Structure formats: structure tokens, C-alpha cells
């Protein structure tokens, strides 16, 4: 099969590319990425010469360019990872999130309709459900949980999900949607919590933690997520939504302390900064549906996954140091340098 992967130079997309080429060497991967700040072509250097892989530097909002790629490559399956995804950035500049996450999705689906794609898969997020209270650990997001977004980012992803469902119902486009919990693992851009804390700790810099750090997230090792998507695009039911969760709930502050302990760094590096606007309290996914229908379960416990992740960042310093030495430094100073420190 020909599988078109958008956002394939990003964190989750690149890990999916690696998994597909390893587990399904008979398939051809067509990778599309705009190479914005979070898309790093260096991530894909080990597969660029693979005869089953081809790369296009293209914006998914560019209707003409996307049409040309579909006409040439004739993908059987489209997996859309391409998205603006950082909540802080969406608060600073919502418009670019609407353009990429909603308009870009419509462009991809129009091309999928035109060229007879057999499956269009939308990679979404548990953030479309809003949040859960900290004092109700018995509550979990299911596929039937109403959408209740908190940020421009999550609103743009929810809008895209609704559009995908509309294309399935109106045009008969064979779609599926997955909504995942927080991912972590190799090749994650160092603005996200775990790689940011690893990089700062190694440099003996302050580790900025929003508020008291008591917000809870369900953590999913990226390879487990990619395996779930692989199952969905091959065996999932058209028109369905699948939640993908790790059953690894952790408070942000506890994750930071684990990283410091693993690296032998003092907790005195932690600084509490003004909380994010509209900061969700707790995410927690019930993955019962994908387990019952497709047999998927997360394989990686957080205590094991975080050690593997830290080891990867220690062994691949050049990858993330090159990023931090560039434009990211300016963004970091803008986002955290102006925040009031909480005692």
C-alpha cells in the first residue's frame, strides 16, 4: 500500500514512519511536512535513502501542491499528524492553529475524496474533551464524552474532528479518528514538558513548572501510540473514533522530580511560574474500546518509558542541542522570561 503521512518530520509522525517501515517493509511511505519550527528533517535522515520512502516539503494548506502529490503518488491511506500542537503558542497566536488544523484537514480530505483514498485517519487529542476534576479519579474520557475545549489549540482540533465526521456522513469518505493522551519519547521537540525539563536539568537551568504542578496527565509512550494507529488504519471500523490512553496518570511536578532524580540534579532547580490561562486540571482516557475491538493495550509503563526517554536524550544531545541553539531560544525567553515567579 501507499501510505501518505503528513507531519512526518514531527515527533509522533516520525516515530510512526519508523514503525511502518520496520513492521510493513512492503508498504511505501509518502511523507509530507512543511518543516516549521517543530518539523526537523534531520529526524528522518536514517530513512531518506530508503527506496520505500519519499519526502515532500509541503504545507497541507496548499491545495494545489497537495493535489499534485495525490495525483502522482495515489495514496491508499492518509494519516494526518500535521498540526500546530502547543497550547501556549495557540494562546499567543490562535489564527495559525485554525488555518493548519482545520483548513489543512479540509484540503487533505478533499484530495482524499478526489483520488479515492481507502482510509483517511485523523490524529486528534484527548484535549478536545476538556478536563476532569482532580478529586474524581474514577472519571475517564470515553469516545462518548462531549467535546468541551479549553484552548484555541484544542478548539481547532475539535473543529477538525467535527469536519472529519461531516465528510464521512456527507460524502461517504472512509474516515477514522484517534484521540490520544500526552505522548513522550524520542524526537519530541524541546518545548514540551519532558524534553524541556531534561534539557534544562542537564544545563543546570531552572525548570519552569506551571502553578503548583498538580495538573494530572495520562502519559503514553510514543511507540505504543503508533502501534495503535497502525491497527486502526488496517483493522479499525470506518466512521469510528478510538481513544488511545496509557493508563499512566502522573502529576506534572512528580514527573519533573523523577527527571531530576534520574539525572542526579537537585530539586532546587524547580521554579513555579504563573499558571497557564485556562489550564486543564486532569486528562485521563479509557481505552476500553480499542482494546475490545482491536486488541490494543499500552505496553510501556511510565517508570520504564521515562528511563528510555531520558537515555535517548542523553545519547542524542546533538539532535536537541541544535534545536535549542536556534529560534527556540527566542521563543523560550518570550514564553517564560516574562512570567511571574511564584514563591
126 is catalytic: yes
- The active-site residue out of 20, 33, 59, 126 is 126
d(CA 162, CA 158): 6
Alpha carbon separation from 146 to 2, 58, 149, 207, 336 (Å, rounded) = 34, 34, 10, 35, 33
d(CA 335, CA 117): 41
Axis-axis angle for helices 104-114, 63-73 (nearest 10): 40
d(CA 11, CA 27): 21
127 is catalytic: yes
92 is catalytic: no
- The active-site residue out of 59, 84, 127, 191 is 127
Alpha carbon separation from 303 to 40, 181, 283, 306, 307 (Å, rounded) = 28, 17, 19, 6, 7
Q: Are 259 and 201 in contact (CB under 8 A)?
A: yes
Ramachandran category for residue 40: left, alpha or beta (phi over 0 → left; psi -120 to 50 → alpha): beta
- The active-site residue out of 129, 153, 167, 332 is 153
SS3 295: coil
SS3 230: helix
R_g of the chain, CA atoms, integer Å: 19
- Point out the residues that are catalytic: 126-127, 153
Amino acid at each position: 500500500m501507499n501510505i501518505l503521512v503528513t507531519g512526518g518530520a514531527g515527533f509522533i509522525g516520525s516515530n510512526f514512519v519508523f514503525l511502518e517501515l520496520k513492521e510493513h517493509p512492503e508498504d511505501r511511505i509518502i511523507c509530507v511536512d512543511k518543516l516549521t519550527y517543530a518539523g526537523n528533517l534531520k529526524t528522518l535522515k536514517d530513512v531518506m535513502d530508503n527506496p520505500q520512502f519519499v519526502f515532500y516539503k509541503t504545507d497541507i494548506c496548499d491545495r494545489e501542491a497537495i493535489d499534485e502529490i495525490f495525483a502522482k503518488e495515489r495514496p491508499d491511506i492518509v494519516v494526518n499528524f500535521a498540526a500546530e500542537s502547543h497550547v501556549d503558542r495557540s494562546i499567543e497566536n490562535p489564527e495559525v492553529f485554525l488555518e493548519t488544523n482545520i483548513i489543512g484537514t479540509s484540503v487533505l480530505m478533499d484530495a482524499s475524496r478526489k483520488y479515492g483514498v481507502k482510509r483517511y485517519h485523523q490524529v486528534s487529542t484527548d484535549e478536545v474533551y476538556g478536563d476532569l476534576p482532580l478529586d474524581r479519579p474514577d472519571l475517564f474520557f470515553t469516545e462518548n464524552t462531549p467535546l468541551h475545549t479549553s484552548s484555541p489549540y484544542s478548539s481547532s482540533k475539535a473543529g477538525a474532528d467535527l469536519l472529519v465526521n461531516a465528510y464521512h456522513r456527507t460524502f461517504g469518505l472512509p474516515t477514522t479518528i484517534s484521540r490520544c493522551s500526552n505522548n513522550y519519547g524520542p524526537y519530541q521537540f524541546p518545548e514540551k514538558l519532558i524534553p524541556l525539563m531534561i534539557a534544562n536539568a542537564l544545563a543546570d537551568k531552572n525548570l519552569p513548572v506551571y502553578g503548583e504542578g498538580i495538573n494530572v496527565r495520562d502519559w503514553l509512550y510514543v511507540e505504543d501510540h503508533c502501534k495503535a494507529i497502525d491497527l486502526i488504519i488496517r483493522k479499525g471500523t470506518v466512521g469510528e473514533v478510538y481513544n488511545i490512553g496509557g493508563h499512566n496518570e502522573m502529576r506534572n511536578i512528580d514527573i519533573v522530580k523523577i527527571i531530576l532524580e534520574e539525572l542526579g540534579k537537585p530539586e532546587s532547580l524547580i521554579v513555579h511560574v504563573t499558571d497557564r490561562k485556562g489550564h486543564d486540571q486532569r486528562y485521563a482516557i479509557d481505552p476500553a474500546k480499542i482494546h475490545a475491538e482491536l486488541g490494543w493495550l499500552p505496553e510501556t509503563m511510565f517508570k520504564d518509558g521515562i528511563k528510555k526517554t531520558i537515555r535517548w536524550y542523553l545519547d542524542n544531545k546533538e539532535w536537541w542541542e541544535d534545536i535549542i541553539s536556534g529560534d527556540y531560544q527566542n521563543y523560550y525567553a518570550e514564553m517564560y522570561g516574562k512570567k511571574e515567579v511564584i514563591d
